Chain A
Amino acid sequence: QKEVEQNSGPLSVPEGAIASLNCTYSDRGSQSFFWYRQYSGKSPELIMFIYSNGDKEDGRFTAQLNKASQYVSLLIRDSQPSDSATYLCAVIMFSGGYNKLIFGAGTRLAVHP
């Protein structure tokens, strides 16, 4: 089992729709969860983090966390073509005596006009 799993996509949504991106993780002890966005040919950039169960909203983005189900999601409302990118779920995991940020393979989102 991979440490952080995501559906690779592509997830195709029409402009203005809600895009829903999902992620599961293996370490039940993980406490910190992140969504990074990576445009094609560019490096990842942090867009949201969430530590507590429930929802966290930031503009058009909402992160959702369910630690019991080991599940994290990202909702993008009113999707725009500029949101087309790969979305990487990342989790802080403790191993080898240190915390590390472990990434999933990413879900590619395509927003079409």
Chain B
Amino acid sequence: DTGVSQNPRHKITKRGQNVTFRCDPISEHNRLYWYRQTLGQGPEFLTYFQNEAQLEKSRLLSDRFSAERPKGSFSTLEIQRTEQGDSAMYLCASSLEAGGLTGELFFGEGSRLTVL
């Protein structure tokens, strides 16, 4: 399977614990995006990378959230001291961009977080 891969697919944790999600993009894609989606809402932009550089982080993202993409390959999204409001589907997407953003993002199946 050469699509975007995310794991774990489901994570249940207690409030205050740290969680980490991993995303493996399509191998030749240079851009990687993290979005968050709650029930009845569209994907909400969190952050994105061009190769290993994190280009932007949403102002909605608190300091408890951090993302990395070492060596421009896979990416991790860590949430520290989780809160119940963090419960959501975390979607990773990748794209191949030669210049400007084309808008054709390929999404993974998502990692669903439930904070008790």
Contact = CB atoms under 8 A, between A and B. Distances in A.
Interface string B30-50: 000101000011111100100
B88 interface: no
B56 A97 contact: yes
Interface stretch (A38-46, A53-61, A63-71): A38-46
B103 A103 contact: no
A102 B103 contact: no
Nearest to A6: B42
Contacts of A106: 40-42
Contact of A92 (B33, B35, B101): B101
B107 A44 contact: yes
Contacts of A92: 101, 103
A99 B101 contact: yes
A96 interface: yes
A8 B109 CA distance: 22
Majority DSSP secondary structure for residues of A touching B: strand
18 contacts: A32-B102, A32-B103, A34-B103, A43-B107, A43-B108, A43-B109, A44-B107, A46-B103, A46-B104, A92-B103, A98-B48, A98-B56, A99-B100, A100-B45, A101-B33, A102-B45, A104-B42, A105-B40
Interface of B: 33, 35, 40-45, 48, 55-56, 91, 100-105, 107-110
Interface of A: 4, 6, 8, 32, 34, 42-46, 49, 88, 90, 92, 96-106
Given A43-B109, A104-B42, 15 more contacts: A6-B42, A32-B101, A32-B103, A34-B104, A44-B105, A44-B107, A45-B107, A46-B104, A88-B43, A90-B103, A98-B48, A102-B45, A103-B42, A105-B41, A106-B41
